[in-house]
Structures are given as C-alpha cells and as structure tokens.
Chains A and B, each alone.
Chain A
Amino acid sequence: MEAILAQLLNGLDKGGAYALIALGLTLVFGTLGVVNFAHGALFMLGAFCAVTFRQLITLESVVVDPTQTTAWGTPLEVRTPLAQQWFGDFGSVLIDYSVPLSILLAIPVMLIIGIVMERGLIKHFYKRPHAEQILVTFGLAIVLQEIVKSIFGPNPISQPMPTALRGAADIGSWIGLGPGVLTYPWWRLTYFLFSIGVLAAVFAFLRFTTFGMVVRAGMADRETVGLLGIDIDRRFTIMFGLAAVVAGLAGVMYTPLVPPNYHLGMDFLVLSFVVVVVGGMGSLPGAVAAGFLLGILQSFASMNEVKQIIPGIDQIIIYATAVVILLVRPRGLLGRRGVMEG
C-alpha cells in the first residue's frame, strides 16, 4: 500500500512537467495547426533562464584582504555577492530563492522568444505540409540547443533548491500512517502544486476571459472568426508566446530536480510528443490527463517488483503505451473525432 502510494507521488512531479510541456504543444497545434518540434527547446531555454538568473544574482565583488592569507600563502580574496552587500540578509534570502525568483525573468524572456519565433519563422509554415513543419522546427531545436551549448558549455549546471524546501514532507503522518512511512521531498511537492497552479491559470484564462473565448472560437473555426473582423492571427501569436512561457516555467522549476544541460529539451521533447499523442492531438484536457498518467505509469514501471517480472519495462513503458494507444485508439484518450485521425 505505502509502496504504491509512494510511486503514485513520485509520478506526480514528472507528470506535472509532461503535462505542462504537452499543454503548450497542444495549444500551438490547436491554434496555429503547427507541429512544433522546437517545443522541448523552449523547456530547456526556461531552465537556462534559471541558470542565468542565478549567475546574475550571485555576481560577486572580490576584495583582497592582506591581513589574512590562504593555505598557499597568497593574500585571501574575500568574495561577497553584490546582492548580499546591498540588501544584507534580504540579499541572502534572494540568493537562496533564486530558482523560484527566476520565474520573474523567465516570463518576459520566454514571451519574447515565443513571439519572435512565431513571427520570424513559424508563421511562414502555416500553409506548408506537416512534414515541413516538423523539419523546420527540428532544425530550429538544434540551433537553439547549440547556441545554449556554446554559451553555457556542455556540462549540466546544477541549481540548488531553497534551503527551506530541501527536506522531505512526511505525508504518511498527514493521512494517518505512521511517521516516516511515506515521505515526499518538499521540492517535488512544490513542483506538483506549481504545475497544477499553472495549468489552472491557463485553463481559467481560456475559459473565463474574452481573449480566451476568442482563441477557443478561433481554434474551432479560424476562418469564421476572421470574417467577424477579429485579428485572429495576432491572438494566436500571443498564444504561441503563452505556450512558450508555460514550457519555460516548467523548465525553470524543474532545474533543482535535474541539472539542466543543453540537450534537456530533446530528452523531454520526444516524451512530450508521445504524451500529446496519447492524450489526443488538439485536446487540452487530454494532454494534461495523459501527462500525469504517463508520469505515474513510468514511476510504477521503475519499481523493482515490476522490473523483475518484465525487465527493461521502465525504459520503454511510455513508448509502448503510445504504440498501443495509437494502434487501438488513434485519436488518443480524449481526442476529438476527426482531428488528425489517419
């Protein structure tokens, strides 16, 4: 029982990441009709927003202190982060919370990247076949990840999580099990709650605002909305920017869990495409449901008991699920009839 609950919890944070990426992917497909292979790169760029933010906030001043010497006999260099010098203790708190704070940097940056990407490249591909969309965005993904590699180097850069969230939550004792039976790291819990929050915000935005209503109408019938005198293209561009922000935020908050390197995006891209297909191409709730479902499935497949029965299942479970779903129910779990059904 505890083992099953623990695996369920373990799947939630990864599922949250899948759901966020898949949501953006589906949003772009549903609005612009573009199959975006560069979406994983946006996740990676978000993660590197966190890296950049930390590098900025930990900029140090170096003062040589001649009264002290190091073990080698040279004068000791005292390094203090500028933030600490200027703001005192508040500065150290800022540094401690660098990862969540980088959201403030990530939102405008990702919005701009998304809009530039759509206006600069993707917009020329609406009328082109899907195969060409895949190819051009695949090329773009390579370009983005190589640029990141040339700036930040090929090695993963680990990001510390805030000290307050380093331990594990004793979830077992909350629900009546003994203390220490079922624990769950605070940061993973934070990530799960964060992803739920972002998902809720996106859905609320689409559901309860006029802007969202127009976008949904445009998804259903772009031409008619255009005929009503609404500049639907501009709204779709903004939706692309929003999808980029969602992917970027997913990346920012994921950095303490997996140290980001330049091919993080590619690793997640293939998986999130599979998630979109399982959920149903063009279905937003489908993408979210499938994201969590596959995250949890993957977590169960990596249990030792399961691996003993079917060796290697943890490596292939997601792909195998996708294959089965595509062959048995091609429009995915919650896909609309006739959308990309072939």
Chain B
Amino acid sequence: MGNLFIMPRRDLVVFVIFAAVVLAMPVWLGPLGAAYPGLLQKFAIFAIFAIGYNILFGLTGYLSFGHAAFLGVGSYTAVWSFKLLTMDVFPAIIFAVLVSGLFALVIGWLSLKRSGIYFSILTLAFAQMCYNLAYSVLTPITNGETSLQLTRQDPRVIDAMFGPAGDSLPTASIIGHNFTGFQGFYFCAAVLLVAFFIAQKIFSSPFGMMLRAIKSNQTRMNYTGFDTKPYALTAFVISGMYAGLAGALLAVTDPLAGAERMQWTASGEVVLMTILGGVGTLVGPVIGAWLIKYFENIFSAFNESMLTRIFSWVPEGLRDWVVTIASKFVGEGWHLTLGLLFVLVVVFLPGGIMEGVRRIGALLRRPTPPATPTAMRAQPAE
C-alpha cells in the first residue's frame, strides 16, 4: 500500500494541473457565463461518468450502449438511501456504487460472452429492459413517470434517531452539515478529483496495460495463454461503478430520480462525450463532457430575439433568413447541432479533440514525425 500515492512525475503534473483547473472552475468559467452551481455540478458529474465510460470503451474497445442504466440505478439507490436511512451523502454514494457495481457485474458477465457489435446490442438490450421495467412493473420502486422523490413521510431511520424531522423537505448533508450551491459543486469536484486519480492509477497500472492489449488484439492475448474475460469484466464493473457514482451525485445535488436517465439516448450521450474529447485518453472524456454540457446549456437558452441581436450586422433583407436558419440549431433544436457535431467528429477527427491538439502540436514541432492518429482510433474488440 505504501506506493499507492507515488506517481510518475508526468502523472503528478497532469493531476495537479487538472485539480487546479477543476477547483478554479467558478473563476475561469465566470467570463463564459457558466459559473453557477447547477451547471458546475453537472460538469463535475458528467466528467465522472465519461471518465468511467472511457475505462471500458477507451481501454478495452468494448462499445457499450447501455451505460445510462447504471447511472439510473445509482440515482434510484441514492434516493432510496435518502428516503429510508439518512440524508447524509456518504451512505447514499456507497450504496449507489455498490448496487450499480452489482448490476454491472451481472450485465457485464452476460454481455461479455460476446464481442464486437453483439456486445453493443446486448448492452443496449439490457439497458432497454431496465428502462422499460422502471416505467412499468417496477413502479413501486421507481415511481414510474412521476420520478422518485423525497417526501416528508419518509422514515429516514437514522436521521429520526437524532431528532424529529423538520417542517420542510430535508436536503442532502455531510455529517449534519447541509450544503447548497457552491458547496455542492466543491463536493462533486472533490469526488471528481478522486475519480480522476483512480483512473490515472488504472491507466498506468499493469491492469490498464492488459486492457489495452485486449483492445489491440484479443485473439493474440488468448493464444498467449491469458484469460482476458476477468480483465474485461473488471473494467466493465469499474465503469459501471463510476456511472453509479455519477448517478448518486445527480441525486445528491437534486434528490429525485427518473427513468429517462436510463434511456438509450442518454447512453449515446456519454459515448459522444468520450469520442468528442478523445477515446482512450485521460483528460479527453472530461473535456468532451464539459463541452457538451456547456453548449447544451448555452445553445438551448438561445432564442429568436438573441439571434436577431447577434446577426444585426447582416443586411436587412437577409437577416430574417439567417435568423430562421440559425434558430433551427439552437434552443429546442440543440440536438440537431449535437448530431451534426457527432457526425463531423467521427468523420474527420476519430481521435477527438485530443487528437486535434496532438496534430496541431505536431505541426508546430515540424521536424518530429507526426503522431499516429490510427493508434487512437476507436477499435472494436473482435
């Protein structure tokens, strides 16, 4: 255990810079109009989700289309912990991670019997089953369409031992200390840093090396005598637990859980975050998650009058046209922009933003040979 915290110098530098960037988010996002707690919390939470997803997809190449199910399971578990036990966040998070890990173990064990596109479809099928069940027969547990919420009649066994419930709905707390707003963000940010640190450890460990070997050539691994299954399954469970953690944090910042979090479009979103940032890189998925959440927030807030103001330099006759066309891409139409972005990234920059940065870097340092973009491609495990 002694060398757990000893890291190579480069990793340490990356971690310190990352920590500084994350903790200073309220400062540097201010001029960009995004420095309010609700959005900052989302930045941290979805970064965790994407980091976890990347441990599976980025390292082993298994493309899962059902990770939103684990996020949903994490949310439900956390809210149930709030309802039954206590408003303290730690039991909620621990239970959420454990339960979603258990789900991931079962689903992963079955899905990993196949690879390639069959694996994708199996995970998709399991996620859809969870989603459909959450909406129908499991309504007593999930509260169906109305979402699972806190009520004043909840037992909250542990909290009840320390005193009677107040008149208003309780909020999440750490050891009796309620937190709101920026405290909520700093809590999520701290969890993000821990999650990032663990991911860094996994990336640089022999285990991470093994996962990369599964991605580059699983058959060869099998022929050399390695049983790759346990490694892939471990990666699957770890990424499922990350998703559960993100789900729990969503419930911590806003104590309600709905089934739409498990829909397969939500799974698609985390895939996009990972791809956009850069599959298989450490910071790529985080950047992808931030960009998507940022633009989702900014773009969906746009409306016609704002657009007219932006395009006021366009000549009178053309302006209406430009505004009409542009309005299809913002506000309600934000998903159109997202879809286009998705297509463009996969077509032109399969390695995501990190590959773009690397290419630019290679251009600036002319004499050095260009980086190999193929290495970063999303290869399926076949």
Contact = CB atoms under 8 A, between A and B. Distances in A.
B133 interface: yes
A132 B122 contact: no
A242 interface: no
A327 interface: yes
A270 B342 contact: no
Report the interface size class on chain B.
35 or more
Contacts of B117: 35, 130, 134, 281, 340
Given A121-B343, A131-B63, A142-B335, A330 B114 contact: yes
15 contacts: A131-B120, A131-B379, A140-B339, A143-B336, A270-B124, A316-B133, A319-B125, A319-B128, A322-B122, A323-B126, A326-B118, A327-B113, A330-B114, A340-B118, A342-B382
A131 B137 contact: no
Contact of A323 (B122, B138, B328): B122
Interface of A: 35, 121, 124, 128-132, 134-136, 138-143, 146-147, 149-150, 154, 266, 270, 273-274, 277, 281, 311-312, 315-316, 319-320, 322-323, 326-327, 330, 340, 342
B350 A330 contact: no
A164 to B, nearest CB: 37
Given A134-B120, A142-B338, A315-B132, 15 more contacts: A121-B347, A129-B378, A135-B275, A138-B271, A139-B272, A140-B339, A142-B342, A146-B333, A146-B335, A146-B339, A312-B133, A312-B137, A319-B128, A323-B122, A326-B121
Contact of B380 (A121, A130, A141): A130
Nearest to A144: B339
A270 B339 contact: no
Q: Chain A binding site: helix, strand, loop or mixed by DSSP?
A: helix
Q: Which one of A130, A150, A319 has the greatest number of beta carbons of chain B within 10 Å?
A: A319
B342 A147 contact: no
Q: Chain B binding site: helix, strand, loop or mixed by DSSP?
A: helix
A129 B377 CA distance: 9
The 3 closest A-B pairs by CB, nearest first: A142-B339, A139-B342, A312-B137
Contact of B124 (A35, A130, A143, A273): A273
A330 B118 contact: yes
B72 interface: no
A134 B121 CA distance: 11
A274 B120 contact: no
Contacts of B132: 312, 315-316, 319
Nearest to B122: A326
A139 B339 contact: yes
B228 interface: no
A135 B267 CA distance: 12
A312 B124 contact: no
Contacts of A342: 114-116, 118-119, 382
